[in-house]
Chain A
Amino acid sequence: MNEEKKIIHYDALVVGGGIAGGEAALNLANSGYRVLLVEKERSLGGKMILLSKVFPTLDCSACITTPKVSEIARHKNITIFTESEVTTIDKRSENDFVAQITKKPRYVHVEDCTACQLCEQACPVSVRDEYQQGLIGRKAAFIPFSIANPKAAAIDIENCTLCGACEKVCPTHCIDFTMQPEQFELHARTVVMATGFNLFDPLEIPRYGYGQHKNVITSMQMEREIAPTRPFNTILRPGDGKVPDKIAYVLCAGSRDASVGNPICSQICCMYSIKQAQLLMGALPMADVTIYYINIRSFGKGFEEFYQQAKGMGVSFVKGKIGTIKEKENGNLILRYEDISEGVVKEAEHDMVVLSVGVKSNPDAGKIFPQGALKLDPHRFVAQTDLMGSPAKTSIDGVFVAGTASAPMDIPDSILSAGSASSEAISYIKQHQEA
């Protein structure tokens, strides 16, 4: 390992390169501050870049995200570290934050890679493609996904057999297995935490049979199936590749559920499920789509109209939380629930079930600061110490929070929150500037 630590200086550190972190970085950079944007994944864009369309406008998500990500990547005031992790941040005094950053090796020199994909073709190793949510496979030498940024190959060293096939075919000789992790010590004047959220893991609810029943998928998997960069070019159920014609949505899968330790509402599942239902009605005009819900929470601008529109399109809405999901031999699924409007327990058969998984906090945010200096709320989101007056403020002066790191929220709210965090950060730098 390369023990030599490089010391670097920036005005602002933004932790997390999703839509909130990207927006905050852009605002800071456009105001003339030099920003280091640290992303743990291989591409910028977070979860939004993987989505199909956005509610309630049905705009293409990638068409909004990709230009924004390019702008971030090309900005002269922004430096991007992908596959990197901020291990600690120490506040020495006002305007003086010292962060330790580890940059993992990609085994590809990004600046030389032309994304020709010859390495992908040569690589003999197939593994599940995490960016396509495991629906299809990918190689161990691969381009993460077609609209990734940076668009460059990467080596998945965990699964690589070190056969060297990719290295031989690479026309620019950019593959380099001698790359080592790099350590950086960053000095920055302010920090924006945009560490995002984790999706609820449906394996925690065994009665829904995720991982056992082949045709039970998560909403993120469905999101990939209907995205422009989708894996199958149509909607297929994973069990046997049949085009489904009776699809069920199970809302509150891991939200508003104290029995799995997440009693709060995820705020987005009702709307993204309604959005997916509308897209499915378009993609599969003959299919029936039923949404099983506890309450439909269509509280935002244009949301209620969007919900009514789905009803008008013929999406069925049934009030009643799904209790259990059982699999039939033909791969169809039996959903047991109480139809609340009648007070009667019922069973319904569907050929594909989508679990509308909820939003969970990413508690890593709290681990970065020593001695729990960054306070988390009871659900382990970053605590907002002045929620009403200054929602971007955290328990540490000079550290601000953007997007879903603070609470579940939708895309417009994440971007608003990033705007608030970046302007708070600028005003913090200005206030503590040496005269």
Chain B
Amino acid sequence: MASKINPRFAEELKQYGSVNFNACYNCGNCTAVCSLSTPEQSFPREMVRLSALGLEDELKQSLKPWECYYCGECTTQCPQTANPGELMMSLRRWLTAQYDWTGLSGLLYRSLSFTIAALLLVAAGVLLFARSTGFDAERLIHVGHLFEMLAIGTVFLVIFVPNLLRMWYFTIVKQKVRVPLKSYFSALPELFVNMFTQKRAKDCDEDDNFRWLEHMVLVFAYLSLLFTTVFLNWFGSEHLFVILLGYLESLLVFVITIHFVSGRIKRNKSLNKFSQPSDWLFVIWLLLMGLSAFLVRLFIDLQLLENNIWMHILHLTVLAQWALIIVPFGKWTHFLYRSFAHYFVKIKTMQEA
């Protein structure tokens, strides 16, 4: 099969945050120092090569960018300062844009002004809606709750299902992987284990498990906060247990994200050195989500919300921006694509075995 070369690929990838990868002189040091690289899945040098050559189709069909959890060792030890770690990161952004059928992901990653415009548009929508209700607290809480449920369902069906099918098509169908349907079931544990524990991230940074632990706690806190607000109706609940649970979850979310944001400000790790707008957006909005949810419930409990409805409108704005922009088209998707990548890799190995 003839390979198609895109000579402008480096320029394109730069918009997704790649740094200096053309300096690579192909020594393989990055692959050798990577603690996740195995004889079956050797990276990142291959990805650097494919990117330097502009072999888009090969990149699109590869799952290797998702295998990397960015400990930054390859970048620290790279003799050419070609920054393979950041290349893998930018490839993940680029792949996210490739999987997305709407094309909005790519637009958001490439253009900061488009991102800001989208955020403002959503904020304006929320404000207009709030005005139409006459700033009625009860109504706002009720609609906010309905909106959450509706958004989850819609985003899942309209965006995630088609995008995951596209990912499957690129990485499994196009790669001519043929496995019996049974394999799709027997590989399922791989999907869920990786989705909820990120167990491979634990092997990523051999000396420091804290980053993995912190991330896992955040994932659990975020998912259970979602569950508590949507299905246990935290803001409307009278149960002490539910109320306290919600407080704990939202507290964990904003405390951990404050730590993440400060890391990115201090640039204390390889991972934090080249933050893109999409990274900032993801982590700051998650922080705002946790914090505003916490405060809304606090205002409810202190009976302040009636006179301070702005607090809830603020929360609703953050929520809407999160649910309509960041979750379907932004960095949130790495939660799905990464776990599905491990699932697909597992399926592939089943074919080979």
Smallest CB gap from A323: residue in B? B32
Docked Cα-Cα span, A258 to B26, in Å, equals 14
Which B residues lie within 8 Å of A321 (CB)? 27-29, 32, 79
Smallest CB gap from B29: residue in A? A321
Of B39-47, B123-131, B156-164, B268-276, the one touching chain A: B39-47
Determine whether the beta carbon of B32 is less than 8 Å from that of A320. Answer: yes
Of A42-50, A341-349, A404-412, the one touching chain B: A341-349
Is A64's CB within 8 Å of the partner chain B? no
Is A104's CB within 8 Å of the partner chain B? no
The answer to whether residues A257 and B79 also contact, given A294-B27, A345-B37 and a CB cut-off of 8 A, is yes
Interface 0/1 of A164-204, CB less than 8 Å to B: 00000000000000000000000000000000000000000
Interface 0/1 of B9-36, CB less than 8 Å to A: 0000000000000000111110111100
Determine whether the beta carbon of B81 is less than 8 Å from that of A338. Answer: no
Is A97's CB within 8 Å of the partner chain B? no
Docked Cα-Cα span, A343 to B39, in Å, equals 9
- Kindly name the residue among B31, B32, B78 whose own CB sees the greatest number of chain A CB atoms within 10 A: B32
- Residue of A294, A320, A323 near B25 (CB, 8 A) is A294
Is B197's CB within 8 Å of the partner chain A? no
What's the interface size class on A, roughly?
Answer: 20 to 34
Which A residues lie within 8 Å of B81 (CB)? 258-259
Is A324's CB within 8 Å of the partner chain B? yes
Is A336's CB within 8 Å of the partner chain B? yes
The answer to whether residues A337 and B32 also contact, given A207-B77, A257-B79, A321-B27 and a CB cut-off of 8 A, is yes
Residues of B within 8 Å of A, CB-based: how many?
Answer: 21
B contacts with A: majority SS = loop
The answer to whether residues A345 and B42 also contact, given A207-B33, A323-B32 and a CB cut-off of 8 A, is yes
Whole-angstrom distance between the Cβ of B206 and the nearest chain A Cβ: 11
Determine whether the beta carbon of B45 is less than 8 Å from that of A338. Answer: yes
Docked Cα-Cα span, A207 to B42, in Å, equals 20
Which A residues lie within 8 Å of B79 (CB)? 252, 256-259, 263, 321
Docked Cα-Cα span, A207 to B27, in Å, equals 16
Determine whether the beta carbon of B32 is less than 8 Å from that of A336. Answer: yes
Docked Cα-Cα span, A371 to B70, in Å, equals 46
Smallest CB gap from A205: residue in B? B77
Which B residues lie within 8 Å of A252 (CB)? 27, 79
The 8 closest A-B pairs by CB, nearest first: A323-B32, A338-B28, A321-B27, A338-B31, A257-B79, A323-B33, A345-B42, A294-B27
Residues of A in contact with B (beta carbons under 8 Å apart): 207, 252, 256-259, 263, 294-295, 320-324, 336-340, 343-346
Residues of B in contact with A (beta carbons under 8 Å apart): 25-29, 31-34, 37-39, 42, 45-46, 76-81
- A and B contact pairs by CB, cutoff 8 A, 30 listed: A256-B25, A258-B79, A258-B81, A259-B76, A259-B77, A259-B79, A259-B81, A294-B27, A320-B27, A320-B28, A320-B32, A321-B29, A321-B32, A322-B32, A323-B31, A324-B32, A324-B33, A337-B28, A337-B32, A338-B42, A338-B45, A339-B28, A340-B45, A343-B42, A344-B42, A345-B32, A345-B37, A345-B39, A345-B42, A346-B39
